[in-house]
Structure 1
Amino acid sequence: MKFGPTREKGVDEPNLADLPHREVRIGRPSIVVRQNGDSWYIRTRESLGAYPERFTDRLVTGAKAHPERWLVARRDGSGAWNSISYAQMLDRARAIGQALIDRKLSVDRPVAILSGNDLEHLQLALGAMWAGVPYAPISPAYSLVSSDYGKLRHTLELLKPGLIFAADGDAFAAAIDAVVPEDVEIVCATGSCKRPSSSFAQLISTPPASVDKAQRAVGPDTIAKFLFTSGSTKLPKAVPTTHRMLCSNQQMLLETFPAFADEPPILVDWLPWNHTFGGSHNVGIALYNGGTLYIDDGRPVPGKFEETLRNLHEIAPTIFFNVPRGWEELAAGLETDALLRETFFSRVKVYFFAGAGLSQAAWDRLERVTARYCGERIRIMAGLGMTETSPSCLFTTGWIMRAGYVGVPAPGCDVKLVPVDGKLEARFRGPHVMAGYWGMESSQREQSFDEEGYYRSGDALKFVDPNRPELGLMFDGRIAEDFKLSSGTFVSVGPMRARIVSEGAPYVQDAVITGMNRDEVGALVFARFDEIRKLAGLPPDRSSHEVVEAPAVREFFTTLLARLNEQATGSANTIARMRLLEVPPSLDRGEITDKGSINQSAVLKHRAAIVDALYDRSQSDAQVILARALRTDAQ
């Protein structure tokens, strides 16, 4: 695919309205909206098309139709791509499946995978699904970052796995020794644990015998894997994800993106497989549509995004997925790197973000760099999904494209909006929705669903235009995070946090809103220290306290607070005080998940003393910025 001529700096920016969008087939379903009492019901007129009974059926069809095509590839130690074709993957899945059957693994003794995205992980996952043995990808951070292994212990006690895999036995030895019972078999690809272990090579060399019979017994309601929620509100919960859930959601994706049928999707992706976005959504897109997934060992964090850029110099994706920070980093790279632009823009048709909201400032920058150097506009798309819905429910398939918009239901997904605490809670029903959390009492499980069988998401949505509800929905925060001031006024936390992150780009990582049962709203801000250190002009050896106290940093956040309050209409959306936090959020204390989501309640609990000091008028804290003082100074 050719794209427009490169425009160098100094040339007038193209008018976005004058540029065509790159051609791509996007489904545009017809939406039915009805109101019953205070609740709204939204669905597509079109029903969902047929989909396979088993997720591995797509591996079989792929191995027959294009046996030599790469399904997955990852760089080896030399930098070359080590690949596995569809035919090779089918053979290896059958061998591994037989090995798991020989070990009498089952739903009561599943496979747990402690390590991250790698070729062995995907082979073991597909082998387990082939044999009808559930597997559970566990966040590597629970083993490698956590110091008390609390979440790892919780997940393994809930699952009671019969086999545990870690790609690098040396790296995971301490966690395994601390948490895993002695009678559980350990399998490693490299290295060794402190206890006897098996090798991955033993699994993959097992001759198939009864495994195909076991595969034929796998049905739509067989559990393919357990995925754990991110733990952004409480301890992670196990979501039994069935073959029906995975297959129906991939069919929803295909009908949303018919372009997947026009050209096999090529993905360059780092998103972790222990989360539903990377492991179900993105891996599924490649397998379900005969595509290829290039595993990216980069990350959108300092010192690691260079690996992503290295891969994108070489591999041109057809659709690119990332979290907002990744898009910010990529936009910066595209502005300065002509070779990166040449490869990246050659065939990408859709930008897609998830995991958090893309700020309007980052959105506009991405649009500008694309227009300047590509000569066409590329659709920036998003949606709404969650682990419990495997994951996708809504997509931005209409012509509305802006930050905060989450779109309309995918075919097959029924949406219900119910008034809760002054907002509309989104609830979902469909073949892609779980039946309930694993290991929970039936009474607890029932609390997750309403009387009509809709899953209660806890997410709040609102119509982008109340007079035209068929246009779709905007994200309106998490209901559980909202609170009341002492005056009884409700504070909507989600939109306020999003505004702080957006207006504070690129210096704000996230924010926690304070003020429950107090007179005024406040904000604790987690800054991006790599960015504010540049702003401060300080060398790397200076402390975080010195960075926070630097005049340039204080001036920026003082101005930010004033800017945030310019559009405030009352106490519920006026931020009266703000403080930068010097200590980053803690994974062990549950303040942050390994995918970067902030747990507001955990931060408020563990930093209660800081919150109290924020509101203590008897003390003068130089780190606290007061909006009232700003208004007084300006008068």
Structure 2
Amino acid sequence: MIKRASNFKPHRATREIRADGSMILRSSYPLGPVVDRTGDWLHRWAGEAPDRVFLAERSGAGWREESYGSALEKVRALAAGLLERGLGAGTPIIVLSGAGVDHGLLALAAQYVGAPIVPVAEQYSLVHGAHNRLRHAVELVKPRLAYAVDAAQYAEALKLDIFDGIEIVASRTGGRADVTAFEDLLKANAGPEVDAAFAAVTPDTVAKILMTSGSTSDPKGVLTTHRMMCTNQAQIADALPFLRERSPRITDWLPWNHVFGGSHNFNMMLANGGSLYIDDGKPVKGLFERTVENLSLMPGTLSFNVPVGFSMLLKALTDDADLRQRFFEDLDLIFYAGASLPQEVWEGLERMASDVKGEVPLITSSWGLTETAPAALMQMEPTERSGVVGVPLNGVTVKLIPDEEMRCEIRVKGPNIMPGYFEAPEKTRDAFDDEGYFITGDAMTFVDPEDFNRGLKFDGRISEDFKLLTGTWVRAAQLRLDMLSCLAPLAADLVVTGADRNEIGVMVFPNLAELEREGYALDEMGGALTDKLLLGDIHRRLAARDREVSGSSTRVSRAIVLAEPASMPDAEMTAKGNLNFRRVLQRRAPLLERLYDDGDAAVTRI
């Protein structure tokens, strides 16, 4: 019998049902103490644990490690260098490169003196066709300084005219005289002016401007204040009490331009005196081996990943007994986000954890957006299945607006919610209702309508739903998650189709590494794979699922496998790796038409 985690806080929420049928959910627990500024965390741990590792990145066969004491010293020196350049409140600093020790120190130095840090996806600079996204970000925030880890690697982007008049700083200058060395910023002396600038930072000071994914329009700049980030870490630690009981450690690949990696995980380590080892691998072919190496060197007490990452990790753990032992023996938490964790992966992780340590750590997820800092709901109790996002965190008020099927639009209010979008008053006004709730556009259902403390389940984006010609509504987002589980691990992602048609179909972006491993042929015809064995396997899975579901709103009757990966330059994929469904359907309109051609050899149909 599986023994699940005992170090959790049980759900305890209240629900108010209004006359119009809407519901208000709140936590019954009080919100714990909240610091005013991110720099307060750094001062605390530099005082209490100066020699403890705060940030680390790979260097040769080992790690370059930065302790809390050293980090505070360098942050204050960098802060002095920024002040010498006239940078402070209202003078954004843009970061072009990904996670790194110098990036982290610069971000904290900017926040220390009130300068908003603007991390953008490194693909915006490194992918030639994505430079328009970089241009949009720079022209929007008008930074006074730009940072890239390597001036040579980012040379093409740095030559763009948008950087005229902007000081460029790099950890590796490549010998360029027009680039300031990061080390030069560290030469400044932190004196009373740094103390004064830090004292002037308040909870309402903007710490970051985070760019939204821009899947349906140009990316917006989310104003992220110290209050939002500091409150959110207090809320998370209230929900996960083991964070305060011992210092956590993570080996983490998640990008810092995204709120999950850059705010949720980075600040979790800083707030709780933890250690963040930066994983320079990723859950993709050719880079995942590096992740396995990094985890072997430095396993964490917490593990954060997306479902495909855990799927790849499960196989690695199955094949390597030593890695399995090291990964699970000190683990308190397995946290997935981005989509539901396939049940077979969930159960595989449970079995291994139980075998190694006799107890399964808390396997959980939460829900939130860039605008909510991000966590607003969290599943705090052990559960047996994926997809539950829990109840409101302390201090968060949730408004649920049900439809006739008790699917609820979710809106949120609380101190972790953004004040608005940068330089966009109309978009800010439209983002809140007349009671001040942030309109998320997401939908939720209750795990158990009779017991709201069982939590909520994410049920897709309201805007992604569509109708079949029969008038039947299709909840595309939830169906996509179901189909990803059905077609795992063959499908890396997929688009649900069927708007104004008689049947639901899927356009599948394949997991090419898995197809090659299983020996499928990658023959194509006009942009679609035609291997009969592959199509036969997909047909069998669709047919088996069809026997388990009922109703045209959930029955997927046809599929086509796309030969070309999603293109970032063509806006089919956002910097976060999410598909832009509308753009995929527009750009691949001929393939969409083929999907509904029963005579096409690339289409499987049940």
How does the TM-score come out when normalised to structure 2? 0.96
SS where residue 38 of structure 2 aligns?
coil
1:548 is aligned to 529
Distance 2:176 2:164 in 1: 11
Conserved 8 A contact 1:23-1:349: no
2:418 is aligned to 434
Distance 1:200 1:188 in 2: 5
Partner of residue 392 from structure 1, selected from 365, 375, 395: 375
1:622 is aligned to 601
Mapped pair 1:216 → 2:179: no
Mapped pair 1:582 → 2:563: yes
**Pairwise CA distance, 1:575:** 1.7
Distance 1:295 1:399, change over 3 A: closer
Conserved 8 A contact 2:4-2:359: yes
> Which letter maps to 2:498?
G
Partner of residue 533 from structure 1, selected from 516, 525, 531: 516
Conserved 8 A contact 2:314-2:348: yes
Conserved 8 A contact 1:29-1:411: no
Partner of residue 264 from structure 1, selected from 218, 228, 247: 247
Mapped pair 1:187 → 2:166: no
2:76 is aligned to 94
Distance 1:46 1:130 in 2: 31
Distance 1:295 1:421 in 2: 47
Distance 1:193 1:427, change over 3 A: farther
What aligned pairs does 1:496-511 form with structure 2 within 5 A after superposition? 496-511=479-494
> Which letter maps to 1:609?
P
What aligned pairs does 1:347-496 form with structure 2 within 5 A after superposition? 347-419=330-402, 423-440=407-424, 442-496=425-479
> Which letter maps to 2:73?
D
Distance 2:15 2:571 in 1: 39
Distance 2:494 2:161 in 1: 33
**Pairwise CA distance, 1:148:** 4.5
Distance 1:578 1:269, change over 3 A: same
Conserved 8 A contact 2:300-2:327: yes
SS where residue 573 of structure 1 aligns?
coil
**Pairwise CA distance, 1:261:** 1.2
> Which letter maps to 1:449?
F
Distance 2:197 2:169 in 1: 22
Partner of residue 299 from structure 1, selected from 262, 268, 282: 282
1:52 is aligned to 35
Distance 1:103 1:132, change over 3 A: same
**Pairwise CA distance, 1:179:** 4.8
**Pairwise CA distance, 1:129:** 0.7
How does the TM-score come out when normalised to structure 1? 0.92
Distance 1:239 1:279, change over 3 A: same
SS where residue 572 of structure 1 aligns?
coil
Conserved 8 A contact 1:532-1:547: no
Distance 1:195 1:153 in 2: 24
Conserved 8 A contact 2:173-2:180: no
Distance 1:114 1:179 in 2: 15
Distance 2:274 2:506 in 1: 44
**Pairwise CA distance, 1:616:** 4.1
Write the deviation string for residues 257-280 of structure 1: whole angstroms up to 9, x where unpaired: 110111100111111111111110
**Pairwise CA distance, 1:374:** 3.9
Partner of residue 112 from structure 2, selected from 126, 130, 134: 130
What aligned pairs does 1:158-307 form with structure 2 within 5 A after superposition? 158-192=140-174, 196-209=178-191, 210-307=193-290
Distance 1:534 1:402, change over 3 A: same
Distance 1:34 1:56, change over 3 A: same
Distance 1:439 1:547 in 2: 43
**Pairwise CA distance, 1:544:** 5.5
Conserved 8 A contact 2:123-2:130: no
> Which letter maps to 1:207?
N
Q: Give the stretch that moved more between structures: 104-113 or 67-76.
A: 104-113
Conserved 8 A contact 2:223-2:421: yes
2:592 is aligned to 611
Conserved 8 A contact 1:414-1:428: yes
Distance 1:582 1:352 in 2: 32
5+ residue gaps in structure 1?
A: 1-17, 628-635
**Pairwise CA distance, 1:400:** 2.9
**Pairwise CA distance, 1:534:** 2.4
> Which letter maps to 1:427?
R
Distance 1:421 1:606, change over 3 A: farther
Distance 1:461 1:46 in 2: 22
Write the deviation string for residues 577-627 of structure 1: whole angstroms up to 9, x where unpaired: 21111111111222112332112111112112221232246xx21011122
> Which letter maps to 1:116?
G
**Pairwise CA distance, 1:194:** 7.1
Number of aligned residue pairs: give it: 602
Distance 1:185 1:310 in 2: 37
What aligned pairs does 1:590-609 form with structure 2 within 5 A after superposition? 590-609=571-590
Distance 1:426 1:401, change over 3 A: farther
Conserved 8 A contact 1:514-1:522: yes
> Which letter maps to 2:337?
A
Conserved 8 A contact 2:340-2:481: yes
**Pairwise CA distance, 1:139:** 0.4
Conserved 8 A contact 1:108-1:160: no
Distance 1:581 1:46 in 2: 49
Conserved 8 A contact 2:77-2:186: yes
Distance 1:298 1:357, change over 3 A: same
Distance 2:583 2:408 in 1: 25
SS where residue 435 of structure 1 aligns?
coil
**Pairwise CA distance, 1:523:** 1.2
> Which letter maps to 2:131?
Y
Conserved 8 A contact 2:34-2:234: yes
Conserved 8 A contact 1:276-1:390: yes
SS where residue 477 of structure 1 aligns?
strand
> Which letter maps to 2:214?
G
2:549 is aligned to 568
Mapped pair 1:519 → 2:502: yes
Write the deviation string for residues 401-422 of structure 1: whole angstroms up to 9, x where unpaired: 3111111111111111113696
Distance 1:418 1:612 in 2: 36
Distance 2:177 2:540 in 1: 57
**Pairwise CA distance, 1:447:** 1.1
Distance 1:107 1:64 in 2: 27
SS where residue 403 of structure 1 aligns?
coil
Distance 1:388 1:191 in 2: 35
Conserved 8 A contact 2:594-2:603: no
Conserved 8 A contact 1:177-1:194: no
Conserved 8 A contact 1:313-1:343: yes
**Pairwise CA distance, 1:59:** 0.3
**Pairwise CA distance, 1:28:** 2.2
Distance 1:466 1:22, change over 3 A: closer
> Which letter maps to 1:432?
N
Distance 1:194 1:604, change over 3 A: farther
Conserved 8 A contact 1:416-1:426: yes
Distance 1:61 1:19 in 2: 39
Q: Give the stretch that moved more between structures: 100-109 or 252-261.
A: 100-109
2:3 is aligned to 20
**Pairwise CA distance, 1:232:** 3.2
Write the deviation string for residues 48-80 of structure 1: whole angstroms up to 9, x where unpaired: 12211111101001111111111111111x222
**Could you say what the CA RMSD is over the residues aligned between the two structures, in angstroms?**
1.8
**Pairwise CA distance, 1:193:** 8.5
